[in-house]
Structure 1
Amino acid sequence: MKLRLATRTSPLALWQAHTARAALTAAWSDAECELVEVTSSGDLDLTSPLSEFGRIGIFTVEVDRVVIAGAAEVAVHSCKDMTTELDTGTMLSATLGRGPVEDAIVTAGGRASGPTFDELPAGARVATSSARRRAMLLAARPDLVPVEIRGNVQTRLDKLARGEAEALIMARAGLERLGLDDRISDVLDTERFLPATGQGIVALTVKHGNWPVHERVQAARDLESWDEAICERAVLRELRGGCSAPVGVHARVVEGVIAVRARILAPDGSRAIEGSIGGARDDAESLGRTLGEQLVADGARELMRS
């Protein structure tokens, strides 16, 4: 069976697509996979802050539309970039094995000689395009200066080398997948920096109603990452927060149990609402929904808008 995989063109996106292709061919020996490269709005505009695009899913919606149009059978995404509510024309079919969930500090000195997060001097500029990371940075170290940055992993490293910031906050998983883990000077613990929904997970979507392809793609599903993603996305859905909201969510499956924790912050990091819940992993989605409802009752939506 021929499967065309729609993907963005960045090195990390292509790593994800090649990994998805390997998982699908391992599950189905007769699968013939080829890549269909797509350039998204978020890839074309590398200067505007993400908050100024006026919509969510700037890295994923256009890739999904290629699948809806019939130019590909499968879309490959970083789960953390996906819209909370999928396009009505697509459905989530699989998630691959989860990588590291933590954020990381990247500095010019890297692993060899770079400072840890706590060692960064007061007034140091720390670059990120994420509202969540910005808020958590300010909550943990209000003496640091968050600055906006755009571009793929290498573009951001180049900007760091040119002195546009003293440090970057990036996903540990992406750096390790590109063989750039030596650039990490500190891994941020999830107590202070709760990860984004779906961080470290590669997700595969197909056209809604294309059940033959859906069944094929399901065979590549990693069951633990699937339950974690479903749970985390349910929390975010109840909060009505998009992938760019100042929200951290982390679910973890251990044997038959899943535990999830979420934190919603004011954009300036001055206030936070947090909650957690646990239960049987078969109830992953309903547990996420319940936690989201509890956080809403505690004022989470108002805090995000403050």
Structure 2
Amino acid sequence: MAPGSTPTIRQRRFGLELRRLREAAGLSAPAAATALGTDRTNISNIEAGRYGISEERVRRLASIYECNDAALVDTLASMTGGRKPGWWDEYRGKVPPGHLDISEIEHYAVRLRTLQTSHLPGLFQTEDHARAIYELVVPRLPRLEVELRIAHRLARQGVLAGDEPTPYTGIIHEAALRMQFGGRDVSRAQLRHLLAENERENVTLLVIPFANGAFPMVGDSILYAEADNQHFDTAHMDSPTGPFFFDLPTQLENFRLRLDLVEQAALTAKQSADFIRAVERDL
């Protein structure tokens, strides 16, 4: 069996959880390989997310590691069965890998929570708004790359629609609402689109006005993707050098706590919708 291509963030998380189970059991990679009837290289590649593994072998490993967390084992087993391509694979090699990882995380999430302090959430950006953002990238991106990134960003928005749309709670600071990308007309159209998307039953948008003062994580932007099993929650933050992903239990617990506190600092859903309308009228 040859190693697969560069593993995605979800494949790496799968392998990481298996490694954590092995280490918690106090077993070395060679010992685990012997018990499974394979070699150490295979165990290393599985734990790095480079190899696929069958559901039967996952459950066998869980038994070897004496894992009694049935929900965790079931979740790991559900992640096997081959590496089926997602819609985002169409963009592989065309947009940065981190963009694809975000798409994958959003696709498999059972709930999404975000905090945006200077940009509007990507899942609600219009084509013109997104284009205005990408045109500010330094050094300037080639035109084709800009169009590919815009197409990918718009395709991501599918998680909020369809027969089983993902529940979404977005916290937006007033600064992000008033930041004009592309000029007044583009900004007004963007805010109207935001209000229209806020009508979805699965979408809750909450605004933090300047008047509410400071709050935890002020200045930060975060995506928190909840999974079927909390072991596989993922937090994502952007940086000038690319995305950072967080998956340690203590990190995730901290992000959940801080997002809860930030929600308490925001207006109610109705007040937030009225506030967005007022900002749109001010433009």
More strand by share: 1
TM-score of the pair, normalised by structure 1: 0.23
Q: Which has the higher contact order (CA 8 A, sep 6+)?
A: 1
